[in-house]
Structure 1
């Protein structure tokens, strides 16, 4: 699914400010509800876990990218490269931040939410964000080229038939001053709000709130934050 290649180019995409803003919002929700003992699903390189730990909140992370988890473990974070259904512990809160839910195909969502419920204690929370339709159509599409002395990155994203396909191409300079090419594709899926509501309820959650969130533009909400309670 392109996760490993994306992990290698992510630091060059200049999303630091957006990630910081979204993390700050999730932290505020966790503090507001007095939650601790968090599992961060799709934890990436562990930045959100570091914020949690810095504020005295116990955190565990999982991600399907082995490369991302290697970074977490280099920082001595408690994280594993496993899928959600392999987690045996129970937590008071689960988070899935920055498009994690959009990487899950529609036909796998119901099982994913059941797995999320199974790792939560009674009255536990599942807090996650998704891209809105506006976010997919007006923000996520487009092309980006990044070049420095050692690499060239080309990213092309097209949204069609409720899927955002992002082609990633990386040219890396070798010791012989030649370039090695790697390419892969990431797919994200648009999930209709009512479709998600039905799955949330069927999975044993109560949907407490949906927050409209302007992450990339003030024109219209490009993200939605869901707060669900088991």
Structure 2
């Protein structure tokens, strides 16, 4: 699964306001902990890292999308294209914003969380969000289109057997009468809250519902490294 097409089409998804709200929620939550260093997992274009640095945090970011990493690096941020299990060093805090955990299946999630725990200093905090079942079936599922002067995007998503399959089709203008077509599917997995209650080396200390697009469509999770 490649997230580069998603990165190219992100500006057509209408998620800017929701992303800013999530960033503010994460940063407000981080203020409750004495963190000095932060690892942003799935950092995107680095918007949260920029705000966190303004708060005095030393920030490092990773992302699987080359498009995202290049955009963040162009802002002078410390970012690289790698997965959490490839990261070295240790941090007081780590975040995984906007569905990062839902891009992992059950087995991948277990490995991911263990690698997060290994990168946190003792007592460090990990903050993430997940989609609720309602968020998948009543919010994410369906079809949408959007366009600007250079692009046309079609998104078709269906939820089945605890998996959300989203097909992205992007048309990019190459001349006044011609478009180049790119297509890719992204799969996300639903994870019930009980899946996070007995994670080795990470204790779920706090969780709360978030109403981002609808009522209780997401949930914020806060873990402490043991």
Using structure 2 for the length normalisation, give the TM-score.
0.96
Q: Using the TM superposition, give the Cα deviation of residue 176 of structure 1 relative to its aligned residue in structure 2, in angstroms.
A: 6.0
User: Cα offset for 1:119?
Assistant: 0.6
Residue 120 of structure 1 is matched in structure 2 by 120
Question: What secondary structure, in the 3-state scheme, does the structure 1 residue paired with 2:197 have?
Answer: helix
Where do residues 78-157 of structure 1 align in structure 2 (5 Å cutoff)?
Answer: 78-157=78-157
Q: Secondary structure at the match of 1:221?
A: coil
**In structure 2, distance between residues paired with 1:187 and 1:117:** 25
Superposition pairs for residues 179-190 of structure 1, below 5 Å? 179-190=179-190
Q: Which residue of 2 aligns with 1:36?
A: 36
CA distance in 2, matches of 1:204, 1:149: 49
**Cα RMSD, aligned residues only:** 1.1
SS at match of 1:149: coil
Q: CA deviation at 1:111?
A: 1.0
Tell me if 1:222 matches 2:223.
no
SS of 1:56's equivalent in the other structure is coil
Report the 3-state secondary structure (helix = DSSP H, G, I; strand = E; otherwise coil) of the residue aligned with 2:31: helix
Per-residue CA deviation, residues 56-104 of structure 1 (Å, 9 max, x unaligned), is 2111100011110000100000000011111111000010010000001
Runs of 4+ in structure 1 displaced over 3 angstroms?
none
For residues 135-179 of structure 1, give each alpha carbon's deviation from its aligned partner in whole angstroms, at most 9, with x where no partner exists.
Answer: 111111111111233221100111111001110001111136311
Q: CA offsets, 1:7-26, max 9 Å, x none?
A: 00001211111111111110
- Supply the distance in 2 between the matched residues of 1:222 and 1:162 (Cα, whole angstroms): 15
Q: Give 1:211 deviation, angstroms.
A: 1.1
**What is the rounded CA distance, in whole Å, between the counterparts of 2:212 and 2:148 in structure 1?**
27
Match of 2:206 in 1: 209
Partner Cα separation in structure 1 for residue 157 and residue 11 of structure 2: 18
Distance 1:150 1:23 in 2: 29
SS at match of 2:108: helix
- d(CA) in 2 for partners of 1:147, 1:27: 32
In structure 2, runs of 5+ residues without a counterpart are none
Q: In 2 relative to 1, CA 76–110 (structure 1 residues): closer, same or farther, beyond 3 Å?
A: same
Is the strand fraction higher in 1 or 2? 2
Aligned to 2:73: 73
Task: List alignment gaps of at least 5 residues for structure 1.
Answer: none
Distance in 2 (alpha carbons) for counterparts of 1:82 and 1:185: 21
- What's the counterpart of residue 195 of structure 1? 195
